[in-house]
């Protein structure tokens, strides 16, 4: 069972969107996928509830923030973590070999929130284990000054920027119908799927 945690204590950074895309991608690859909704707002649950039956199947379970997955036979488990996660019980659910993706927007508020989260991860001790942690710049506008500030910040904290995802309505249109960009016509989303390839490669390199 490969576990991927999409986490950032800052709301609105795109955790549910990214969790949904990953679940959809791996399901389309023929893998058994479990999407775990840890957020009390149940955004992932709402999204999956609107997914048409004709598309690749994704299992769902809603759990408390510190509740681990038990007894699942899924090959890929994607965790949509809530905002304001205090990390008190991080060791209960994240274990060696797991992956953590942190979506971040290139704004001062988001960079500061991400820094506090990373400091919390260090204090929890997970940074000293074999857990892999990477950053995804979401809704990125790469030519802005604050995107450069984000790059400088990531250099200081020594975490890899896996990919930058552009700001596009393709995600909005797909999510509104219970879909992902990987369910849409390839010609419509070729730029976006190309931006996801480094994330997929990074995750596939950690499968066990």
Q: What percent of the chain has pLDDT over 70?
A: 98
Task: Find the domain containing 36 and state its range.
Answer: 2-196
Question: Within a domain: residue 115?
Answer: yes
CA distance 14 to 102: 10
User: pTM for this structure?
Assistant: 0.91
Q: What is the CATH number of the domain that holds 17?
A: 3.40.50.300
Tell me if 207 is assigned to some domain.
no
Report for 119-123, 160-164, 202-206: range of highest mean pLDDT: 160-164
Whether 146 is covered by a domain: the verdict is yes
pLDDT in tens, 21-61: 999 999 999 999 999 999 999 999 999 999 999 999 999 99
* Mean pLDDT confidence for 119-136: 82
Tell me whether residue 206 is in a domain.
no
Q: Where is mean pLDDT largest: 4-8, 99-103, 177-181?
A: 177-181
Q: Which of 82, 75, 79, 86 is nearest to 100 (CA)?
A: 79
Query: Does residue 158 fall inside a structural domain?
Result: yes
Whole-number average pLDDT of the chain: 90
Number of domains in the chain: 1
Residue identified by tokens 């994607």 is: 78
User: Is pLDDT above 90 for 96?
Assistant: no
d(CA 36, CA 20) in angstroms, rounded, equals: 10
- Report residue 105's pLDDT band, with 50, 70 and 90 as the boundaries: confident
Q: Is the Cβ–Cβ distance between 123 and 116 less than 8 Å?
A: no
pLDDT over 90 (residue 172): yes
d(C-alpha 95, C-alpha 206), whole Å: 13
> Which residue is associated with the tokens 């490669």?
201
Round to whole Å and give the CA distance between 5 and 81: 7
Question: With 0-12 CB in 10 A as exposed, 13-18 as middle and 19+ as buried, what is 58?
Answer: buried
The pLDDT, as a whole number, for residue 207 is: 54
> How many C-beta atoms surround the C-beta of residue 79 within 10 A?
26
pLDDT tens-digit readout, 185-202: 999 999 999 999 999 999
Question: Does residue 201 lie in a domain region?
Answer: no
Closest by CA position to 36, among listed 57, 52, 20: 20
Q: Is the pLDDT of residue 120 over 60?
A: yes
Torsion on CA atoms 14, 135, 21, 13, rounded to nearest 10: 0
How would residue 112 be classed by pLDDT, with cut points 50, 70 and 90? confident
CA atoms within 13 A on the CB side of 80: 30
User: Is residue 203 one of the residues assigned to a domain?
Assistant: no
Cβ-proximal residues to 84 (8 Å cutoff; 6+ apart), any chain: 9, 11
Which tokens is 3 given? 């576990």
Give the integer Cα–Cα distance in Å for 66 and 48: 22
Asked if the structure places residue 208 within a domain, the reply is no
Token pair of 42, please? Answer: 């149940």
Mean pLDDT on 134-140? 91
pLDDT of residue 208: 46
């Amino acid at each position: 069972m490969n576990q991927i945690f999409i986490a950032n204590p800052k709301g609105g950074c795109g955790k549910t969107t990214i969790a949904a895309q990953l679940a959809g991608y791996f399901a389309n690859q023929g893998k058994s996928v479990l999407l775990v909704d840890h957020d009390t707002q149940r955004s992932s649950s709402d999204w999956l509830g609107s997914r048409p039956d004709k598309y690749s199947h994704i299992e769902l379970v809603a759990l408390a923030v510190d509740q681990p997955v038990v007894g699942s036979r899924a090959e890929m488990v994607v965790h949509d973590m809530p905002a304001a996660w205090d990390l008190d019980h991080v060791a209960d659910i994240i274990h060696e070999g797991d992956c953590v993706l942190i979506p971040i927007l290139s704004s001062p508020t988001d960079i500061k929130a991400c820094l506090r989260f990373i400091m919390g991860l260090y204090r929890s001790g997970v940074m000293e284990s074999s857990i892999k942690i990477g950053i995804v710049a979401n809704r990125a506008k790469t030519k802005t000054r604050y995107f450069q500030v984000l790059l400088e910040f990531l250099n200081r904290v020594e975490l890899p920027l896996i990919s930058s995802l552009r700001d596009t309505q393709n995600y909005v249109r797909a999510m509104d119908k219970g879909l992902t960009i990987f369910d849409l016509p390839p010609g419509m989303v070729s730029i976006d799927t190309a931006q996801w390839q480094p994330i997929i490669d990074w995750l596939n390199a950690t499968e066990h």
